[in-house]
Chains A and B, each alone.
Chain A
Amino acid sequence: MNTALEIHDLTVAFDRKPVLWNIDLMIPQGKLVGIVGPNGAGKSTLIKAAMGILPLSSGYVKLYDQPLESVRERISYVPQRESVDWDFPASVMDVVLMGRYAKLGLFKRPRKADKDVAIDCLKKVGMEGFINRQISQLSGGQQQRTFLARALAQQADLYFMDEPFAGVDAATEKAIFTLLREMTNQGKTVIVVHHDLQSVSQYFDWVVMLNTRLVTSGPTSKTFTSENLEATYGGKLTLLTDVADLMRRENYPNREENVIKS
């Protein structure tokens, strides 16, 4: 089985306070993967760290057995819908074209061919009727579809998506799921931060259960059990939280080698 994502001993801290502790994780290619866990479990942090958006306090991330920098054009990221200001002066087309910027490189303007790709991707998410619509006038579901189209325009092999099902209508949820399924059928890997436990068994081949530490990761049928759910959602690790808070208060380094360096 080929590995799409490998995370080794990953710790991520905000303002010295660790929000992810020692994550070790392996995800095979071609799977539809759900990351679940309670609020503040570090689900978004995990994929942001994997995409190099956040600095790592320790550990490393490998994608397709290589560091991020050498395979970046094969990876795509869909941020949380609420993370941007949708009142920005841009059209749906403008946003989807951003998916082509990595291929275009600096300074260059989108070409006709890039627009063709963008229109094609908008068709895939059922947004071809909204190409010139201002993004401020979109519904939540349409905003999410626009973000998906932008990711598709990158023509990547591995997709990280931060809550693509959050706050969308039932029709959009179904359309997005069908699309993700199609993508994994083509051998692409899709890793999704997910909130709705009801649909986990139905949607995902593989599930990552997270609560500041990794509870478990594996095929949904074997992993998504009531014991694991109990371990993820029940029984807070009060001691761990207290230690993390202490590190922030005392301004402590997360790893000893950091002390030697500075």
Chain B
Amino acid sequence: MNALWEFLSFSDPNIRYVALGSVLLTASSAIVGSFTFLNKKSLVGDAIAHAVLPGICLGFLMAGTKNPLALIAGAFITGWISVILVEYITNKTRIKEDTAIGLILSVFFGIGILMLTVIQKGGNASQSGLDHFLFGKAASLVGSDLITFSIVAITLLVVVFILFKEFSLLAFDKDYARSIGLPVKWIELSLTSLIVLAVVIGIQAVGVVLMAAILITPAAAARFWTDKITVMFLLASIFGAISGLSGAFISYTAPAMPTGPWIVIVISTLAFISFFFAPSRGVIGRYIRQARIRKTINDENVLKIIYQLGEENKNFFIPRLTDEIIRKRFYEKAALVKILKRLTRQGYVERTRNLWGLTEEGKNRAQRIVKIHRLWELYLTTHMHIAPDHVHEDAETIEHLLTPELEEQLEQLLGYPKVDPHQSKIPYADN
């Protein structure tokens, strides 16, 4: 706990730098990655991430030290080559994109590991720490490295800000973008460069192997919460930043621990929370809505049965025994009583000892359901020429669903008919 407090107080300047750096890198990767996500190119991000490893080794071999600029340049070059190769293979051969990505990813990563091993065995003292690029080490983000990487991150954010309108249009409707004469090739080129750069700087914190997670997961998680693209990008960057910060904390408290896996665990947790708990798109939200619909259907069916019993006696307000209702349509007694109690609470049903009767409001609601049911049956027979003995099931669902506007349309279309195909009277609210 003390360590957390010490970390969060940011009293140690080193902690400040590492935290700031990690947040900047992960947030900018998340923002650029959001476009990969919207373009449905998530796997390309993964291919690039793996393909930068040989570039980093190459940069190191050229410079002889871990000069960040040399590493970035090398990574940028091999990252780009991988994109070009994936595109070339997809366009010029019958191999599909997913296979091409799989091929390129493993070939480049294999070469990268090979080069890394050679360098490590080579005895160059300054190579130590190069393997941090595999799984990430946020704590190594200090000094001039931090400055270089931060400048790249800020450049990314600025370019995304400037080209936001164009990037979004391309993700939504590329043909249209071409038709209005936008330089689609150039815009795509700059987006790919941004992705490569985001990967190149992100691997400091996350590492090559898990880099795709920080590109894609924040966007995927953010999408659950909103339908607005700007809000989605904001959320993605916040999710990215949170995971970056936690990665920095781990790296600070347990220096032997690689940062990448921790960042991925945090961002994945955020994604799972979004997946389950996001209000409109989340799984639980959907489930609750479904349950509410089922409740409404059950309630309205019971009201309808009491109403139909009333039709037989020409009096809708006679209180009924549960057995009378069950005779008309089977329910488990306990379940039925539960529904009746709910309807009583809502004021649609009144209870006198073991008898249940409709209130005025209950009668009106039931009447509307019965009316829609019969109107819909008539509509199916007259307008869709479905046999009268086949229309009941369909009307059973529609009666709960129809909005007042559609209900009115239906009435007008049919001209307020008196009876349904089975010669049952259609009850209107006025009489």
Contacts and interface: CB of A to CB of B under 8 A. Distances in A.
Interface of A: 48, 51-53, 69, 72-73, 75-77, 79, 83-85, 88-91, 94-95, 98, 101-102, 104, 106-110, 134, 136, 150, 154
B176 A88 contact: no
Contacts of B227: 89-91, 134, 136
A128 B163 CA distance: 29
A88 B163 contact: no
B229 A89 contact: yes
Nearest to B179: A77
A102 B228 CA distance: 23
B216 to A, nearest CB: 16
A72 B176 CA distance: 12
A101 B182 contact: yes
A90 B172 contact: yes
Contacts of A94: 229
A79 B181 contact: no
Contacts, number: 74
A98 B223 contact: no
Contacts of A154: 180
B226 interface: yes
Contact of A98 (B40, B169, B178, B232): B169
Contacts of B165: 101, 104, 107-110
Nearest to B184: A53
B162 interface: yes
Given A75-B179, A79-B173, A106-B183, 11 more contacts: A51-B179, A53-B179, A77-B175, A83-B175, A84-B173, A85-B172, A89-B228, A101-B182, A107-B162, A108-B165, A150-B176
Interface of B: 38, 40, 162-163, 165-166, 168-169, 171-173, 175-176, 178-183, 223, 226-229, 232
Contacts of A84: 172-173
A72 B166 contact: no
Contacts of A150: 176
Nearest to A89: B229
Contacts of B38: 88-89
Nearest to B231: A89
B172 A77 contact: no
A89 B226 CA distance: 8
Contacts of B223: 89
Contacts of A136: 227
A136 B38 CA distance: 14
18 contacts: A52-B179, A53-B179, A73-B181, A79-B175, A79-B176, A83-B175, A85-B172, A88-B172, A89-B223, A90-B168, A90-B172, A94-B229, A98-B169, A98-B173, A101-B166, A104-B165, A107-B162, A108-B165
Contact of A48 (B163, B175, B181, B229): B175
Contacts of B232: 89
Nearest to B161: A107
A110 B169 CA distance: 13
A46 to B, nearest CB: 14
Contacts of A108: 165
A88 B228 CA distance: 9
A69 B181 contact: yes
B182 A52 contact: no
A102 B223 CA distance: 28
Nearest to A104: B165
Nearest to B222: A89
